[in-house]
Structures are given as C-alpha cells and as structure tokens.
A and B are shown apart, each in its own frame.
Chain A
Amino acid sequence: MSDPRKAVALISGGLDSLLAAKVIQEQGVHVEGINFFTGFCVEGHTHAIRKKERARPKRNNALWVAEQLGIKLHIVDIVEPYKEVVFNPRHGYGANLNPCLDCKIFMVNKAHEWLRQHSFDFIITGEVVGQRPMSQRKDTMPVVSKESGSGDLLLRPLCAKNLPETLPEREGWVKREQLYDFSGRSRKPQMALAERFGLKDYAQPAGGCCFLTDAQYASKLADLWRARGSKQYEMDDIMLLKVGRHLRPRPHFKLIISREEGEGNYLQGYRKQYVSIKTVSHPGPLALIDGEAGDEDIELAARLVARYSQGRDAPEVELEVADREGNSRLLRVRPMPAHEVPQAWHL
C-alpha cells in the first residue's frame, strides 16, 4: 500500500483552520500544521504581561488545535521577513494597519517553501469565500494562490466547491464531493461541522487574531513611525505597544505608563534601555521615556506620571528618575490635573 499523501495546514488556532485540517485528515491524508509568529499575534502576550489576566487559564490555541487533531505543529518565527509586508503591502492596508491580503500571500508562500523542503504534496487553509473583507473574497482568493506561488497546490476545504478544482482534487488525492461550499460571514456552517466532528471548546472566531487590525494599536504604531521619521520597528517596540498607557506630550518623546502591577513588572525589564520614572512618595506606576528628553521634558513627564499615582490629589509627589545606566535622582512635582492633559497626547 502506498504512503498517504501529505498536506501542510496553516493553523491559526481558530475554528476554520481546525475544521479544514480535520476535513482533509478524514480523507486519509497525513496532515501536519504550520503556524507563523509575526510578533503581532494577540493571543498570549497580554495574558503573560497583565497580572489580573494571569488568573485565567491560558493556552496557545494553535498548539491546542494540533493536539485535538493529533498532528505535529511547526511554529515558524517570521518576525524579520514579515516587516516588509507591514511596511509596504502591495495590496494596501485594511481599516487599520492590517495588510491582510499581503499577509495571507506571504504566509501561503512560506508554507509553499516549507512544503518543497519537506516533500509534502499540498497546502490547506481554513479560508472561506466572503468571510473576510480583504483576503477572503471571491476575487482575492485566486490572487493568494497566484502570488504566493502555490497555484493549484492550495486547497481550501471549507469552500472548495465554490472554487475551481485544485491539483489534489484532480489527482484524486482528496474527494471533491467530500469538501464544502461555505461562503459568507455566517459562522453557522462551521459551528455545525464542529458539532458533527464532536469538537468543543474551540477558540471563538473573532477575526481579531492580529494587533494590526486593532485601531488603537495601529494608531500607536503609526505614531512610532512618525516620531522616528520612517517605517521601522524592532521586536521590543511592537511588544511595548501592547503594554501600558502611551502619551506623547512632545514630538520628541513619549511616555509608556504602566496601568497595573503586571505591566509595571514587565516594564522593569526595559530600565536599561529607557529612562524610567517611578513614584516614591505614593504608590503609583512605572513609566518609560521613549525618546530624548531634557530636564524640562522630564519634569513634565514626572507630573504626568504623578497624575496616574495615588498621589494625584496631593500638592506634591516625589518620584525617582533613573537613566539607562541606573543612576537615579529624586524629583518633587505637582501632579498634572486631568484638565491640563490634552486628549491629543493620548495615543
């Protein structure tokens, strides 16, 4: 008996990719999963940073999906090459800084490279025609196949009957009649199929697995690019955009102010990279200064930090200002009243 055909499935951790892999597995195909880490993934990081979130049980949904399917999962770090997708998406951004179509093309292309390196036969995604406004439309799904270089090796089991036949179908590696014709934004067909497979406790489909789709996050990233004069970021930058309250009182510096203990602990780890401010006389946040701040700027920053401490109504608050080398000094300031903080400073 010949070895089964092998498919690599893009596993996001959501329901659609779980079902797509399951449908193909049920046809006797050997499936392994691939999951890409861009740095903008929503899941996990907030949980790891914020103290109150830590009380909730946490899981990585892609790993959970792989375990449900009983398949291997290969997690690929694409942080560096992904930057070009974020900086210059050929097909543009969505509502925020989300380059969804370019992102999908990029990931399918990476899956195709992996397929060739590991002698797999075809690629599976959980895409559904009409499900997403940018990357999953009748007119853009062929663009993904073409521009990713995967061509007709890319099979979307959940909506394959709405699309032209692919190589795995033509060659009889999978039976087209056992694939699906889902379309549109309704989740009901997926939920019914999940029930048929006896799948429970799957991640709730939200379409929000990427911080770049989040308006507030995108606004902070755009501010970072403006302040630096060019589109660029490092891993620490995009992590810090997920943490704390960000205020830019002057064009040349911004403040990252922790909102709770977990965030304060996380920001502590950056005290050698940024000037930091911490309240001393009253319980309060830890803040980092991103940019070059002079004495007047630091006093302004200290007044803002004091405003978010328990001494906000006190006549004066004492704070410790530490430079990157760990040299510190004390500063006493009058907390800035709320009405003196322009809304435009909040990123």
Chain B
Amino acid sequence: MASVTPRSKLDARRLLCPMPVIRVQDRVAELAPGTTLEVVCTDPGALTDIPAWCRINGHRILETRDNGEEQVVILEVGAS
C-alpha cells in the first residue's frame, strides 16, 4: 500500500529575501526526499527566489500562489 507523502509547513511571513530562502534551505536539509513543503511568505520576491533556489539545488516546485498579501510556494524535496 502506497504511503501518504507527509506535508511540512513553513511560516516565512514578515521575512524579507533572502531570509525565506535561507529558512527553506534549512528546513529542506531536515526533510526526506519526496516530502512536500508548503512555504507562506509576505515578500513577493520569494516567488522568484524560492523557485530559483529549488531549480539549482534539485528540488521541484509543485505550486505557487499569490493573493496580493501572501505568497505560497509548495515544493517537493529532491534527492540531492
């Protein structure tokens, strides 16, 4: 029976870049490959910076959302 992938959450609100990226980097280091992580931010720059960090470090962006006040990035931890 397939196991359900755990979802981890990270609150990076009120942090300005690159702090949300640093928090993501630190959290991802603790997570197993395949884990999904949801990050909530209030710096719109996170919508470009977190995906860029994921691309160069081998993680996958599953979804990004922006309601004007908060930005949400969901990623899947890669194997590296």
Contact = CB atoms under 8 A, between A and B. Distances in A.
Contacts of A41: 18
Nearest to B80: A72
Interface residues of B, number: 18
Contacts of B21: 60, 63, 75
Interface stretch (A44-52, A86-94, A176-184, A295-303): A44-52
A82 interface: no
B14 to A, nearest CB: 6
Interface in B9-23: 14, 16-19, 21-22
Interface in A44-77: 44-45, 47-49, 54, 57-60, 62-64, 66-67, 70-77
B48 interface: yes
Given A60-B18, A75-B22, A75-B25, A44 B56 contact: no
A37 interface: yes
Given A37-B19, A48-B16, A73 B44 contact: no
Interface size class of A (residues with CB under 8 A): 20 to 34
Contacts of B17: 44-45, 48, 60
B45 A71 contact: no
Contact of A59 (B48, B55, B57): B48
A47 B22 contact: no
Interface string B18-55: 11011001000000000000000001110011001101
A72 B43 contact: no
A239 B22 contact: no
Interface in A243-257: none
Interface of B: 14, 16-19, 21-22, 25, 43-45, 48-49, 52-53, 55-57
